Every structure is written in C-alpha cells, then in structure tokens.
Amino acid sequence: MKYSIIVPVFNRPDEVDELLESLSNQTLKDFEVIIVEDGSTKTCKDVCDKYADILALHYYAKENSGPGQSRNYGAERASGDYLLILDSDVVLHEGYIQAVEDSLKETPTEAFGGPDAAHPSFTPVQKAISYSMTSFFTTGGIRGGKTKLDKFYPRSFNMGIRRDVYLQLRGFSKMRFGEDIDFSYRIVEAGYKPRLFPEAWVWHKRRTDFRKFFRQVYNSGIARINLEKRHPGTMKLVHLLPTVFTVGVIGLILISAVGRLLMYYCGNDQWRWLCLLPWLPIIIYSILILTDSTIRNKSLKVGLLSVPAAFVQLMGYGLGFIESWWKRCILRQDEFQAFEKTFYN
C-alpha cells in the first residue's frame, strides 16, 4: 500500500460521506483510508460501514484530544509509504491520488501539499468564505499560488508526508490550533523541503456560516503568536496585516463617532466631514472586494457576501492576534495558561 489517507473527524458524518464517495471514485486505487473519530457525539460509523466493501477503510473511535493527536493516532496504525492528511470537510476530484503519484515521480520529495478551491455546488456563503481565504486582497492569495516558492508550508486540509519522516518528527504537537503550521515548520527545520503540488487540489468547504468562520480565524490569530513563540523569526509582515487592518477599521469608526458627537453638541454641520470621511477607505475596500469576487465567482450574490466574509476573516484574525499578544507578550502567560479553557480542555 503506497498511500494512507488519514482523516480526523468531529461530528461531521455528512461531510465524511461526501469525502468517502469522492475517494471511491479515484482513478488510482493504491491507498487505504483511516478515519479517526475524535470523541464525536454524532459519529460517522454508519457512513464508514457503507463504504467498507468499496474502500480499504479502517474506522477508529477515541476520546477527544484534538485534530493533531487524532492524526498521530491514525499514523501509528497506517501502513502506507506516504501519509495523506486531509480535513473531513474536503472533497477530492477523481484524479487527486493520480496527481500526487505523478507529482512525486516528477519531483520526489519527503513532504508536500496542494491548494484548495470552492466547488460549484457550495453555498454562496461557503464560496464567499473560500474567496476571503484565498484572495490576494485578504492576504490569503499565497494559499494556492506559485510552485516556485522559497519555502512552502503545507496545511492539514491537504498535506502529504513520507511515513518514516512523520514518525521521525513525532507527528503533530498538542497545539489545538496552528498545529499544522507548527508541524510544517518542524519539517523545514529538520532539513526537508516541502513542495506544492498544484494538480493535487481539493474542494474545501471550510465553515458554513460567518459565526463559525469568525471563531476559526480568531483562533488562527491566537495561534500566530504561539507559533512565533515556538519558532522565533517565523512571523512575517503578512501575518501583521490583519491586525493593522483591524486597528485601522476600529480607529476610523471611532473617528467617525467623534465627528458625530461634535455635530450633536456643537449644534451645526461643520464637523460632518469628520463623521463621513473615515468611511471612505472602508467603502472603497468593500467595493474592491465586491467587484473582484463577483468577477471571480461570476455571481453578484457571492460578491456581496464576500464583503462581510473579508471583514470577518481579517478582523477575526486580528482580534485573536491582539488577545494572544496581550496574554503571551504583555502578561507573560505561557501557551497553556493563556488559553487553557478554550484550547486544551
């Protein structure tokens, strides 16, 4: 068996069904599938049973410990030469495994990853969220970008690694968020050079509503500080841009509020410009997102939804970054102490 596909799952039986169906349609069949149920209350056991005679499928259920530790659990039971790490909310095109095979023959490597995209059947909100996570205008454009990157860091929604290297590095850490980037950093620090395989792409559903999406990106902002603490020097300018955007938007709104108060208490309109002018850059940015997303998705509805999605993506990340910076850098709390209730319970 050349490939072992490892999927941690938490309360997502319907999405697992779609993923397994896409795996059953692969043109290259040299793989096994390992589903690790991470303490779900809504399990996918019945779904897995449906594919038991179609796929080389192994189903395991365990107590909740987070996605990273669940991947390690699956890796310990895998038999493939390469481990393919996927999120449960992805769907594969029928040539995915073949694309990995062809890319490895063309460019042998110990670790690799592929980009993600939105499927035409996704809801407008899912497409808007996908846009916000992949657009250049929201700092997400690197996600599915160029093949010749100085350093490429695979993400756990679509990651591959040789099994012996995975075991040598002891897999994922106990981080609840950002654990995939932490693992990618350790792969590079060990001297390996992960590659981007553009043809090994996946359809990635991400979150289904803005509330869940905000929680996801907020946690990503928190994780960024934790990653810098674990891997000093890895924070780049692009990681700071959402925080600058967040502070800027909040600052513009406050300036507008001051202008409105001055208009009220002074009893005239001489401060109207201070009330209205701060909204100009916000409106210009919103129009930019609306236009670009509408053209890319060929849908005005998706374009309109992409505006709040972009603000949620940038400001959610920025607010999480600020909270983590305050607790880790100002209050000097350690990683577990700062977020024990939300990350490590």
What pLDDT score does 342 carry?
Answer: 54
- The DSSP output letter for 22 is H
What pLDDT score does 143 carry?
Answer: 43
CA neighbours closer than 13 Å in the CB half-sphere of residue 68: 18
pLDDT tens-digit series, residues 176-203: 788 999 999 999 999 999 999 999 999 9
pLDDT tens-digit series, residues 229-281: 999 999 988 899 999 999 999 999 999 999 999 988 887 788 889 999 999 99
Cα distance between residue 28 and residue 187, in whole Å: 27
pLDDT tens-digit series, residues 162-173: 999 999 999 999
| SS3 of residue 72 by DSSP | helix
Compute the average pLDDT of residues 58-84.
95
Residue position matching structure tokens 């019945």: 46
Residue 130 predicted with pLDDT over 50 = yes
Residue 80 predicted with pLDDT over 80 = yes
Cα distance between residue 328 and residue 320, in whole Å: 12
The gap from C-alpha 326 to its chain's centroid, in whole angstroms, comes to 23
Q: Which residues, 6+ apart, have CB-to-CB distance to 69 below 8 Å?
A: 172, 174
Residue 198 neighbours by CB distance under 10 Å: 14
Q: Structure pTM? A: 0.87
The pair of structure tokens assigned to 278 is 């701060």
Asked whether the beta carbons of 313 and 140 are under 8 A apart, the reply is yes
- The DSSP output letter for 238 is H
Asked whether the beta carbons of 167 and 6 are under 8 A apart, the reply is no
pLDDT tens-digit series, residues 286-304: 999 999 999 999 999 999 9
Q: What are phi and psi for residue 111, nearest 5 degrees?
A: -145, 150
In 3D, which of 126, 305, 128, 96 has the Cα closest to residue 204?
Answer: 126
| SS3 of residue 108 by DSSP | coil
- Classify strands 195-196 and 111-113 as parallel, antiparallel or unpaired: parallel
